[in-house]
């Protein structure tokens, strides 16, 4: 039997304490070989409900686009943070993700009273926060931020695909699929590739030791 997850529980507990401005924060793009890690910070109206809204990875691209438009229209605030491949290579993906999350929160036009974060802990945050494992399934606010981050990054990958169609970014979104890895072997790497990620590093090592 499928487990029913209450994705309003964390929000309800905070509403009971008088906290109204709750931000959800999530990231997309920690695993790809190309491009930035993108984060979103979303504040929804109190007791907001959107049927079917869940972790963006569990939604079809069409559903994500539909939810993106609804969230952008209904949310009190939506803001984005990102760190590109150069920063990721410089400070590592985990630290780059944190920086992008801080940026998304700082970019919020309304300051949240509490932040719900998917899995990560933001120690330097000056706002009360809760880190929730699988938060995009357990919190509607984090689910909303995961959709915004995912659609934002996917659109960036579609644009990059126009520039470099041979890598198939429109389909693989920068992840290391068979086609993508074969394209690296055939055409080499582009400026947007993360040089510290395998198999990009292996390709560079191979060139260096030729």
Segment 116-121 shows an average pLDDT of 95
The band of 98, judged by pLDDT with boundaries at 50, 70 and 90, is: very high
The band of 209, judged by pLDDT with boundaries at 50, 70 and 90, is: very low
Q: Where are the domains of the chain?
A: 9-162
Per-residue confidence (pLDDT) for residue 199, from 0 to 100: 84
Q: Which residue did the predictor score with more confidence, 55 or 72?
A: 72
Q: Please give the mean pLDDT across all residues of the chain.
A: 94
Segment 69-95 shows an average pLDDT of 98
The band of 202, judged by pLDDT with boundaries at 50, 70 and 90, is: confident
105-119: buried (b, 16+ CB within 10 Å) or exposed (e) per residue? beebeeebbbbbbbe
Query: CA torsion sign, 91 to 105 to 118 to 50?
Result: negative
Nearest-angstrom CA–CA distance, 194 and 80: 21
Query: Domain spanning 9-162 has what CATH number?
Result: 3.30.420.10
Tell me how far CA of residue 95 lies from CA of 64, 83, 99, 123, in angstroms: 27, 10, 6, 12
pTM (2 d.p.): 0.94
Rama region for 188: left / alpha / beta (φ>0; ψ in -120 to 50; rest): left
Nearest-angstrom CA–CA distance, 146 and 163: 26
Three-class SS of the chain? CCCCCCCCHHHHHHHHCCCCCEEEEEEECCCCCECCEEEEEEECCCCCCCCCCCCHHHCCHHHHHHHHHHHHHHCCEEEEEEECHHHHHHHCHHHHHHHHHHHHHHCCCCCCCEEEEECCCCCCCCCCEEEECCHHHHCHHHHHHHHHHHHHHHHHHHHHHHHCHHHCHHHHCCCCCHHHHHHHHHHCCCCCECCCCCCHHHHHHHHHCC
Nearest CA-CA partner of 22 in 135, 100, 133: 135
Per-residue confidence (pLDDT) for residue 141, from 0 to 100: 98
pLDDT over threshold 80, residue 193: yes
Per-residue confidence (pLDDT) for residue 112, from 0 to 100: 98
pLDDT over threshold 90, residue 126: yes
């Amino acid at each position: 039997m499928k487990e029913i997850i209450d994705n309003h529980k964390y929000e309800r507990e905070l509403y009971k304490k008088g906290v109204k401005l709750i931000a959800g924060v999530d990231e997309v793009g920690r695993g790809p070989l190309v491009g930035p890690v993108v984060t979103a910070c979303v504040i929804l109206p109190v007791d907001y409900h959107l049927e079917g809204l869940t972790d963006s990875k569990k939604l079809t691209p069409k559903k994500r686009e539909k939810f993106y438009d609804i969230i952008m229209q209904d949310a009190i605030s939506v803001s984005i943070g990102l760190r590109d491949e150069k920063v990721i290579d410089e400070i590592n993906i985990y630290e780059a993700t944190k920086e992008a999350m801080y940026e998304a929160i700082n970019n919020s036009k309304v300051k949240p009273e509490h932040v719900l974060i998917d899995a990560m802990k933001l120690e330097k945050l000056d706002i009360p926060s809760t880190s929730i494992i699988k938060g995009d399934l357990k919190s509607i606010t984090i689910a909303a931020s995961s959709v915004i981050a995912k659609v934002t990054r996917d659109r960036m990958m579609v644009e990059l695909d126009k520039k470099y169609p041979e890598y198939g970014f429109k389909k693989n979104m920068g992840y290391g699929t068979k086609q993508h890895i074969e394209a690296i072997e055939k055409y080499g790497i582009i400026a947007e590739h993360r040089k510290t990620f395998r198999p990009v590093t292996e390709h560079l090592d191979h060139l260096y030791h030729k």
